[in-house]
Amino acid sequence: MTTDMAPSHILCDGVSPEAVTEFASQHGLTVLGANSAAPMPCILVLSDACEQRLSSALRAPVRACFEATPEGHGMTANALERMNACQLLLSLTTSTAYKTPLAQFVSRWISQSTHIEVDLISNLELAIQEALANALIHGNMGFKKTLPDSFHGLSQYGQDVEHRLTDQEHGQLRIELSSCWDDESVSISILDNGAGFDITAPVEKSVTGWGLSLIRKLALSVDVTEGGRKITMRFAR
Amino acid sequence: MEYTIQSDSNQRLVNLKGRLTFTDHEQFRKITEAMHEPGSAKCTLDVSGLEFIDSAGLGLLLLVNEAAKENDISVSIRGAQDQVKKMLEITRFEEMIPVE
């Protein structure tokens, strides 16, 4: 798939431009002042990421968005390399991604950036939602199942979720979504930082376990790589 | 997702509104608890206010059904629109919970 020109400017929202200067100069990027308007295209570094701020941020002309945390700006050389090979990229912590309707925001971001039919937007949203749930819950949070097998387990499950979202080991792991497109298709990849999973292992479908088969119904092709940490879904336009 | 429960001797009506996804387990813990309270043996899940559901959302509806069965309550779903209706159809959900 072809990509447009890679973004060459960084816009900071809630982050001091000085915090990204060194990284920017190492990678030939220009840091814009705090009050600059977003040029086409640009990388946004966003602090205090939450539903409201991400809803405003994930719109053209922003091409990539990195959640900044107290630990840093969130950009890495590897992520920039992946950004340059696609048209949209988003990097968030698990804690933020879990609490945000990202599938809705990302499918809207794609549809604003390239014209796609309403039916495809709906399919993209569901597929992203299912893949995100797998990446967050099984990948970064390390749960075997998306939900407990019985309603009796909901209370303990809720406590476990809360605990893992707030601990460093799980809640601060990154999740990365990216999208590429051409005239024929739209691709979306989701990369987590969990232990990975065996794509060939049988999935027991009960209360949960339906996500991947739903994605396969919606997509032209589904590839799982990097030991189960990356899923790439391609859809016909 | 937001929900309300209206309960009288004729029926338990659970109205669901917004987006029902894997993050809504706490609301469903409360909904399953409500199945243990005295009331009608018939429960209707009105999903007409739902704009989006994922597969874990369907799983949460199954957990309500399990809690209801433990208390001899029969559950049905009504009012599905658009994406929610499509999800119920492609997963043949009516084989698990009757859809009105």
Q: How confident is the model at residue A1 (pLDDT cuts 50, 70, 90)?
A: low
Q: Chain A residues with CB inside 8 Å of B60's CB?
A: 147
pLDDT at A4: 60
Q: Tell me whether B22 touches chain A (CB under 8 Å).
A: yes
Q: Which residue of B has its CA nearest to A122?
A: B83
* ipTM of predicted assembly, 2 dp: 0.95
**pLDDT score recorded for residue A203:** 67
Q: Is the pLDDT of residue A35 over 80?
A: no
The Cα of B8 is separated from the nearest Cα of chain A by a number of Å equal to: 23
Could you tell me how far CA B18 lies from the centroid of its own chain? Answer: 13
- Min distance A144 CA to chain B CA atoms (Å): 14
* Cβ pairs A/B, distance under 8 A: 73
- Name the residue of chain B whose CA is nearest to A132's CA: B22
Q: Which residue of B has its CA nearest to A133?
A: B22
- Given this model, what pLDDT does residue A37 score? 73
pLDDT at A62 over 70: yes
Residue A103: pLDDT over 90: yes
Report the residue from A155, A161, A214 with minimal CB separation from B55: A214
State the Cα–Cα distance between residues B47 and B51, nearest whole angstrom: 9
B48 and A CB contact within 8 Å: no
* Residue B10 Cα distances to A150, B13, B43, angstroms: 27, 10, 9
**Residue linked to tokens 């989006």:** B52
Contact A26, A20 (CB under 8 A): no
- Residue-averaged pLDDT of chain A: 92
Cis peptide before A39 (omega within 30 of 0): no
Q: B interface mutation test: which of A152, A154, A156 has the most B CBs within 10 A?
A: A154
Find chain B residues with C-beta within 8 A of A101's C-beta.
Answer: 19, 21
Q: Which residue ranges make up each domain of chain B?
A: 2-95
Judge: B19–A161 Cβ closer than 8 Å, yes or no.
no
**CB-CB neighbours of A190 under 10 Å:** 27
Which domains does chain A carry? 9-236 (3.30.565.10)
Region A4-23 average pLDDT:
89
Three-state secondary structure call for residue A143: coil
Position with higher pLDDT, B30 vs A39: B30
Q: Which pair of structure tokens corresponds to residue A93?
A: 């912590």
- Cα–Cα separations (whole angstroms), residue A94 to A58, A98, B40, B92: 17, 6, 41, 32
Mean pLDDT of B80-92: 95
Mean pLDDT of the region A100-105: 97
Asked if B55's CB is within 8 angstroms of A211's CB, the reply is yes
Tell me how far CA of residue A187 lies from CA of A180, B66, B92, in angstroms. 5, 38, 28
Alpha helices in A70-117 (DSSP H): 77-84, 94-98, 102-113
Position A2 scores a pLDDT of 42
In the sheet where A221-225 sits, what is the strand order? Answer: A30-31, A9-13, A42-46, A62-67, A88-93, A174-181, A185-191, A230-236, A221-225
Instruction: Over range A90-102, report the average pLDDT.
Output: 98
The pLDDT of residue A195: 86
pLDDT score of A221: 96
Tell me which of A14-18, A76-80, A103-107, A160-164 is least confident.
A14-18
pTM: 0.94
Residue whose structure tokens are 């819950």 = A137
B18 Cβ under 8 Å from any chain A Cβ: no
Percent of chain A with pLDDT over 90: 81
What average pLDDT does the segment A172-188 reach? 97
Q: Which residue has the tokens 């605990």?
A: A163
Residue A5 pLDDT:
72
B chain contacts of residue A157, beta-carbon cutoff 8 Å: 25
Tell me the C-alpha to C-alpha distance, in Å, between residue A11 and each of A41, A84, A184, A218.
10, 17, 32, 35
B2-95 has which CATH code? 3.30.750.24
Closest residue on chain A to B33 (Cα): A151
Q: What is the pLDDT of residues A133-159, one digit of tens each?
A: 999 999 999 999 899 999 999 999 999
Asked if B64 contacts B31 with a C-beta cutoff of 8 angstroms, the reply is yes
Which of B32, B54, B58 best tests the A interface by mutation, with the highest count of A CBs <10 A? B54
Q: What's the pLDDT score for residue A91?
A: 98
Report residue A202's pLDDT band, with 50, 70 and 90 as the boundaries: low
Six-digit token string for B80:
């599905």
- In the block, tokens 């298709």 appear at A185
Task: Say whether pLDDT at A173 is over 80.
Answer: yes
CA neighbor of A27 nearest in space, from A53, A45, A46: A45
Chain A: residues touching B (Cβ < 8 Å) = 98-99, 101, 103-104, 122, 125-126, 129-130, 133, 137, 146-148, 150-151, 154-155, 157-158, 161, 207-208, 210-211, 214, 217
List, for residues B20-78, the tens digit of each pLDDT value: 999 999 999 999 999 999 999 999 999 999 999 999 999 999 999 999 999 999 999 99
Give chain A positions within 8 Å (CB) of B27. none
Q: What is the mean pLDDT of residues B72-89?
A: 97
